[in-house]
């Protein structure tokens, strides 16, 4: 019996597979983060995928995509510092704070040199308060703020504290302001640009934005969707899989601890073990064969290690433990 013919134009059904690791994707301008994620997921045929912090469609750059077990650490990348290159156009305000919104106001731009601009920027370093923009994904009574904004509704938003670690002027032509920013999670670069423009004595909006850093990851390591498609077509899925980073590379800021085969077995079953380590610290846990087990936490006195998030598949861990035990017995 032959299978029924697929209707013309219908995409063949994807056969998903188990893939684990982190892909450093170069999200293109004009595409939503979710659309970029879904394109990457289909290329890898990954059963489970998620990204670690949305970029506006206007923005391009670093979008870490987590597949499989790596989705378990996506929250830590959401909390990581971010870096951006941004060009602001002064003298024009828009409804959205970027080039996609309609113009809502204009103002003359004062004549300033680079030194004067740098003095203004210095006032934004450190912890500052930001009022989130109406065109954001924050919710008010169950509705996204951008949904209200599109209906012409503006609601009061409470200021939020964020931290600007670095803010450097890279170019200034009298109207366009190019900056490099490194900031804490939750920072709205559109709001930062508007606030800088106000401090200068004018208005402004984001003309272009590129994310260059997320935690330990830099833009030099990125792969575009076009590059991924070409690599798959030329060399197949194994070549794509070799691009994936192991989840522990996102956790290099945590101290590492290696445990023995017996401790590994207990940890993979969710049980704490005796181990000496940094008191009260979150740690990266490795088995005796250097398999990355996941994230653990030391007790306050630093004598016991409890699993917080297991990354190694339980069956794979059991097989690794058996292999190590067998080797010890043969020795």
Residues marked as catalytic: 56
The CA distance from 201 to 189, in Å, is 18
3-class secondary structure per residue, 44-96 = HCECCEEECCCCCCCCEEEEEEEEHHHHHHHHHHHCCCEEEEEEEEECEEECC
The CA distance from 120 to 115, in Å, is 9
Task: Enumerate the H helices of the chain as residue ranges.
Answer: 33-44, 74-78, 114-122, 145-150, 189-200, 225-235, 237-241, 261-268, 314-330
**In Å, how far are 164, 215, 278, 282, 319 from 253, measured between CA atoms?**
20, 9, 13, 10, 29
């Amino acid at each position: 019996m032959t299978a029924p013919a697929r209707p013309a134009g219908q995409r063949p059904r994807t056969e998903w597979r188990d893939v684990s690791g982190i892909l450093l994707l170069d999200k293109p301008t004009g595409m939503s983060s979710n659309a970029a994620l879904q394109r990457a997921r289909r290329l890898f045929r990954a059963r489970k995928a998620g990204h670690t912090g949305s970029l506006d469609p206007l923005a391009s750059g670093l979008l870490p995509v987590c597949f499989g077990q790596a989705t378990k650490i996506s929250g830590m990348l959401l909390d990581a510092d971010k870096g951006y290159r941004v060009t602001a156009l002064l003298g024009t305000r828009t409804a959205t704070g970027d080039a996609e919104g309609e113009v809502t106001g204009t103002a003359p731009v004062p004549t300033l040199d680079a030194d004067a601009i740098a003095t203004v920027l210095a006032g934004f370093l450190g912890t500052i308060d930001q009022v989130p923009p109406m065109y954001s994904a924050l919710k008010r009574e169950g509705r996204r703020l951008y949904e209200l904004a599109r209906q012409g509704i503006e609601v009061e938003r409470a200021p939020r504290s964020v931290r600007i670690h670095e803010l450097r002027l890279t170019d200034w032509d009298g109207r366009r302001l190019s900056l490099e920013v490194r900031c804490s999670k939750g920072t709205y670069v559109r709001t930062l640009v508007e606030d800088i423009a106000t401090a200068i004595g004018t208005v402004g909006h984001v003309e272009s934005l590129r994310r260059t850093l997320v935690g330990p990851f830099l833009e030099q390591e990125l792969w575009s969707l076009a590059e991924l498609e070409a690599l798959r077509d030329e060399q197949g899925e194994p070549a794509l899989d070799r691009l994936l980073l192991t989840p522990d590379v996102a956790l290099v800021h945590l101290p590492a601890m290696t445990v023995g085969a017996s401790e590994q077995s207990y940890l993979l079953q969710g049980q704490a073990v005796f181990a000496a380590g940094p008191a009260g610290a979150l740690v990266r846990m490795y088995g005796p064969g250097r398999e990355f087990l996941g994230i653990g936490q030391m007790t306050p006195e630093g004598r016991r290690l409890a699993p917080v998030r297991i990354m190694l598949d339980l069956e794979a861990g059991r097989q690794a433990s058996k292999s190590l035990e067998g080797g010890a017995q043969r020795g």
